[in-house]
Structures are given as structure tokens and as C-alpha cells.
Structure 1
Amino acid sequence: MAKKTVASLQKGTKDRVKCIKMVKSPKTGAYIFKEEMMDKSQSAEFFKQK
């Protein structure tokens, strides 16, 4: 019974992905990681941004 409940809760999250991009900080010069949750269709635009 619990498996059925968990499966129904995950119904709307199948099209979402977590994108992680490494960006160089202009202030310190060190690399930082930028993380965002978004739809699969928006992930290509996320990696094109600077």
C-alpha cells in the first residue's frame, strides 16, 4: 500500500531535472557551482547562459 502512495506523489515530478553548472566567480576567481531545478526542456538554455 505504501508503494502506491509514494508512486502517486511522484506523478508530477518526472519532467524535472537538477542542473549543475560550474561558474567562475569574477570577484575571487574561484569556481562555484550553480544549481537549479527545472523542466527538461529548459535545461539546454540553462547551460547556454553565462
Structure 2
Amino acid sequence: MAKKVVATLKTATGKDWAKVIKAVKSEKTGAYTFREEMVPVDKVQEFLAAK
């Protein structure tokens, strides 16, 4: 499955996406978890600014 994703991202349309990893603090325990998503390059700042 990983090979398909890598092959897709290497195409011309795949370069319009970015993998973003954001640390999110749990209100309940105080521990950090990581939220990982593929977002369009022009929406990266919006993703990072959102809570």
C-alpha cells in the first residue's frame, strides 16, 4: 500500500499535497498525541492554525 501512495505523490498532481503532523495536547490527561494528515499545500497554514 505504501508503494501506491509514494508512486501517486511523485506525479505532477501529487506535488500539490503535503503531509502535516501536528502535536495535539489532550485536555483530559495532558499528554500529547500526533495528528497526521495529507492536506493541499495552500491549506497547510489553515490546518496548523485550527484547534
TM-score range, shorter chain: 0.7 to 0.9
In the TM superposition, structure 1's runs of 4+ consecutive aligned residues that sit over 3 Å from their partners are none
Partner SS, residue 33 of structure 1: strand
Computing the radius of gyration from Cα coordinates, the structure with the larger value is 1
Matched with 2:36 is 35
Q: Aligned AA for 1:43?
A: V
- Give the 5 Å matches for 1:19-34: 19-34=20-35
Percent identical residues? 47
CA apart distance, 1:25:
0.7
CA apart distance, 1:26:
1.1
- Give the count of matched residue pairs: 43
Structure 1 residue runs of 5 or longer lacking an equivalent are 1-5
Structure 2 residue runs of 5 or longer lacking an equivalent are 1-6
Partner SS, residue 14 of structure 1: helix
1:16 aligns with 2:17: yes
Cα RMSD over matched residues?
Answer: 1.6
The normalised TM-score by structure 1 is 0.74
CA apart distance, 1:17:
0.3
